[in-house]
Amino acid sequence: MNSIAKASPRRQSVIKDLSLAPYGHKKLEWVQQFMPVLNILRQEFEETQPLANKTIACCLHLEAKTGYLLQTLKGAGADVIACASNPLSTQDDVVAALVDSGITVYAIHGESTEEYERFLSMMLDCQPDAIIDDGADVVTTLHKDRPEQAKKIIGGCEETTTGIVRLKSMDQDQALQFPMMAVNDAYMKHLFDNRYGTGQSVWDGINRTTNLVAAGKDVVVVGYGWCGKGVSMRARGLGARVIVTEIDPIKANEAIMDGFRVMPMAEAARRGDIFVTVTGNVNVIRKEHMEIMKDNAIMANAGHFDVEISKGDLSALAVSSRVLKNNIEEFVMADGRRLYLLAEGRLVNLAAGDGHPAEVMDLSFSLQALSLLYVIQNRECLGNHVYNVPAEIDQRVARLKLQADGVQIDELTGEQEAYLASWDTNL
């Protein structure tokens, strides 16, 4: 049941049920203990208040780790408003706790596309100064539907690969009206979040949903980018035989050298027991593949949008379908084969799990917070483009993480610094 929740300082949130807040607070407390870098930054921001008088709109997966980022921004003095970047990843208890702590939220688990669009619009009606986006829906909505408002935005940050692809197209077309930080492209983001975060949490989502064994199964990973590498690595760790499909010859060679079999989807489709798409591309599993899949083949997506597995083709081929259990939909083909789709083809690790581990999101969200500050504090020096996260921010997050883990590393000696800076190797 939708209900209007308690008023935040200036406005009312729209969430499922505010009475769920105590459960959400506990979830937030749990992740906070494992996010030491964000804890250090939060302490600093609470003293310096770098976001005082700023309204920040965030469209993110609304679960506990993201919740802690939002609380950190609030602690930095910001007025924070959030909506969900995916209808199935919203955790209603976490959202209730956020509202309880003074953040405005427009999100309900399982919300329809129409509701999603309405909530996004309500968030933008709050006239944010800056944004945090995940998939670039906020940026594109501002540019398409609210061009005058877009001109007033100071800037923002983008969390994921797919969003950055969209932003770079806008930049190329000279359409961007404010600077955006490509947080995904920071080393401390994609090396850890996309690879180790997705690698672990995708299998957590698939395992807890299916309750089946991965060992001995043929797992087809579609796309061998940062996420695909992690998903393949962890599938092998579980004892699966991994097949990779790619369109990029360099990535295909990388997968081979990493010890995986590489073949076209037309061949992999016959062999796979479990398919995981992580390409950021559309219809990478479609009709001709579904027609030759084995009985009981399971399909899951970990790419940002639910477009990688053609749900239209699956429905068109099926003579019947039913939800067998939470997050598992069965499609029966005319020849009697049963194909299964997990979590409606949405990000399986978030829609059917709790997303990335807290320690990994600690890094991504520390980058988010520092990049947001950067874009706000350096607006005059930035054009309306997509910017890489400055190396100093990446380095700072890396050092804080080592510090939090009690790990020390060596430093260059003066001689080594001079050697590396010189072209004269006899120095």
CB of 343 to ligand NAD, least distance (A): 11
User: At residue 88, what is the residue type?
Assistant: L
Radius of gyration from C-alpha coordinates of the chain: 22
Q: Which residue is nearest to ligand NAD (CB)?
A: 225
CB of 285 to ligand NAD, least distance (A): 9
CB of 317 to ligand NAD, least distance (A): 20
End-to-end CA distance of the chain: 73
Nearer to ligand NAD, 38 or 350 (CB): 350
CB of 190 to ligand NAD, least distance (A): 6
Which residues, 6+ apart, have CB-to-CB distance to 396 below 8 Å? Answer: 370
CB of 284 to ligand NAD, least distance (A): 4
Three-state DSSP class for residue 353: coil
Nearer to ligand NAD, 162 or 209 (CB): 162
Q: How far apart are CA 110 and CA 86, in angstroms?
A: 9
Q: How far apart are CA 114 and CA 14, in angstroms?
A: 14
Q: How far apart are CA 336 and CA 314, in angstroms?
A: 14
Nearer to ligand NAD, 119 or 192 (CB): 192
CB of 13 to ligand NAD, least distance (A): 25
Nearer to ligand NAD, 99 or 341 (CB): 341
Nearer to ligand NAD, 13 or 371 (CB): 371
CA 46 to chain centre: 26
Q: How far apart are CA 399 and CA 240, in angstroms?
A: 35
CB of 126 to ligand NAD, least distance (A): 26
Nearer to ligand NAD, 54 or 109 (CB): 109
Q: What angle do CA 114, 277, 106 make, to 5 degrees?
A: 25
Q: Give contact residues for ligand NAD (rule: CB under 6 A).
A: 160-162, 190, 194, 198, 222-228, 245-248, 251, 278-281, 284, 302-304, 347, 349
Nearer to ligand NAD, 109 or 356 (CB): 356
CB of 222 to ligand NAD, least distance (A): 5
Q: How far apart are CA 248 and CA 333, in angstroms?
A: 32
Q: How far apart are CA 12 and CA 290, in angstroms?
A: 46
Residue bearing tokens 């709050």: 126
Q: Sheet holding 180-182: strands in order across?
A: 3-7, 12-15, 104-106, 79-84, 55-60, 130-133, 155-158, 180-182, 386-388
Nearer to ligand NAD, 81 or 265 (CB): 265
CB of 358 to ligand NAD, least distance (A): 14
Q: How far apart are CA 105 and CA 124, in angstroms?
A: 12
**H or E element: which one contains 387?**
strand 386-388
Nearer to ligand NAD, 238 or 332 (CB): 238
CB of 247 to ligand NAD, least distance (A): 4
Q: Which residues of 333-356 are buried (b: 16+ CB within 10 A; e: fewer)?
A: beeebbbbbbbbbbbbbbbbbbbb
CB of 364 to ligand NAD, least distance (A): 9
Nearer to ligand NAD, 7 or 282 (CB): 282
CA 32 to chain centre: 19
**Would you list the DSSP string of 283-310?**
-SB-HHHHTTPPTTEEEEE-SSSTTSB-
Nearer to ligand NAD, 40 or 238 (CB): 238
Q: How far apart are CA 6 and CA 361, in angstroms?
A: 29
